[in-house]
A = this chain, B = another copy of it.
Amino acid sequence: MKEKDFVSSLKKGLMILAAFDESNPFLTLTDLCKRTNLPKTTVFRLCRTLVALEYLKYDSSKHTYQPGIKVLSLGFNVLASMELRDIASPYLIDLFNEVNENVNLSILDDIDVVYIERLKKREILNIALHVGSRLKAVISSSGRVILAFLDKKELDKILQHKNLNNFFKEHNKDDFIKMLERIREKGYSVVDGEYFPGLVAVAAPVLNRKNKVVAAVNIPFLKTDIDVNQKVKTLIEPLLKCVKKIGKTLPYD
């Protein structure tokens, strides 16, 4: 289990930073111990270091740690280096204004789909996903549409991933591939309630000028009393226009 030449204290430190999430922005020392399975003293020492580096903030009155805003600069150095996001952003705003629904931009990372931009309506009910959130590609509308437009070779590599074994116990692989083919023909994907009951999403691929998928834009909505097919129809045209515009604006590979 021991990996060779591996700086474990770095790993442990990052485990601590990663322990915080949306629903747990404040954690005490013991919380962190539980979440990381590291001994108290170790966590304490690492936290002290992270506080000194300002990646963590400590509230001495409540004995809670909180990620410092400085970690943003880590993450955003990645985003900033993504031309895609910059280019897409204005077109996404247009789309958002046109359809008046939430709009997301995501890319494929390993077997996951990661949100890199997100425009949200003012709503009480909102899906707890944000920029940086990950979803299994196989279950999300964006993921499926990206997979559908991938080269066979790349697709195979992903579908063989061990972490998808469970998924393919419940879903026939050949059927899944056939479904992807149908998505490719149509040019967009629709996921209706599979991820979460009552939640529908349509997604379209962003193709660069070499016709390679680089991202996907999706529009999720709740099916209350509306006719889903009708709704999808009204969304598809603006969505497809949007991804086409983004693709055209992208630089060559």
Contact = CB atoms under 8 A, between A and B. Distances in A.
Interface string A68-106: 111111111111110000100111010011000000000
A53 B3 contact: no
A interface residue count range (under 10 / 10 to 19 / 20 to 34 / 35 or more)? 35 or more
Contacts of A122: 90-91
A70 B25 CA distance: 18
13 contacts: A10-B49, A18-B73, A18-B74, A21-B81, A22-B77, A25-B81, A54-B110, A68-B109, A71-B77, A72-B78, A72-B132, A91-B122, A93-B93
A246 to B, nearest CB: 11
A45 interface: yes
A35 interface: no
Contacts of A175: none
A9 B49 CA distance: 10
Given A79-B132, A90-B120, A97-B97, 7 more contacts: A3-B52, A7-B45, A9-B9, A10-B49, A11-B53, A68-B109, A74-B74
Contacts of A79: 72, 130-132
B81 A20 contact: yes
A46 interface: yes
B69 A18 contact: no
Contacts of A74: 14, 17-18, 67, 71, 74-75
A121 B87 CA distance: 10
Interface in A1-54: 3, 5-7, 9-14, 17-18, 20-22, 25, 45-46, 48-50, 52-54
A82 to B, nearest CB: 8
A134 interface: yes
A52 B8 CA distance: 11
A239 interface: no
A67 B18 CA distance: 16
Given A13-B10, A53-B14, A78 B89 contact: no
A69 B10 contact: no
A219 interface: no
Nearest to A114: B69
